[in-house]
Amino acid sequence: MIILMGATGSGKSLQSRLLADECGYTWISTGKILRSLMTSKSRQEMLAGELVSDQELIQMLSQKFESIKPKQLVVLDGFPRTLAQAEWLIEWAKSSDFEITAIFNLEVAHAVVRNRLIKRGRFDDTETAIKQRFKEFELVTQPIIKLLKDEGYRIFNINAEGNPETIHQDIIKAINGISINN
């Protein structure tokens, strides 16, 4: 399993899809799952920039993982986003046939992310929601990188401010430098 992390708008979904398409991985996007299953209450929470509860997201992801065969190559986009989610994922990986092979942290300046989000024009990309996501990323999500690194996982910091193809090639170079079994 390869995990792509980064602030909203850092290019996780684009890079995950490119990686899945080129390498034949199964693409699991938590954002896509959430948008397809959201209720009116969760839609309002997303508009305000709030994250879905850990319990809800873990339950959704657990169901998705059940449909994937052990040893299947997977790229995970947008999860984990909290320490509790990271701890669950670490324990799940240890108790399953899935190995977390690499984690890519897509690094992008806030101004670049804000411009990308405004340009894509999704319903949940309001100024309020963008500010809240930045705050959540800095306070909640960034410590996950440290936890995963402390647990011995390979973290690759990728400059994600440039052209998507260059970013993709940087990810592929890193992957080619490691042995991927899962």
Q: pLDDT tens digits, residue range 143-177? A: 999 999 999 999 999 999 999 999 999 999 999 99
pTM of the predicted model over 0.85 = yes
pLDDT at 179: 60
What does the block give as tokens for 111?
A: 């101004």
For residue 26, give the 3-state DSSP assignment. strand
Going by pLDDT thresholds of 50, 70 and 90, the confidence category of residue 182 is very low
Lowest mean pLDDT among 14-18, 33-37, 66-70, 132-136: 33-37
- Taking the C-alpha atoms of residue 160 and residue 32, their distance in angstroms, rounded to an integer, is 21
**In this structure, is residue 84 part of a structural domain?**
yes
Q: What is the CATH number of the domain that holds 18?
A: 3.40.50.300
Structural domain that includes position 73: 2-176
The more confidently predicted of residues 149 and 81 is 149
Number of separate domains in the chain = 1
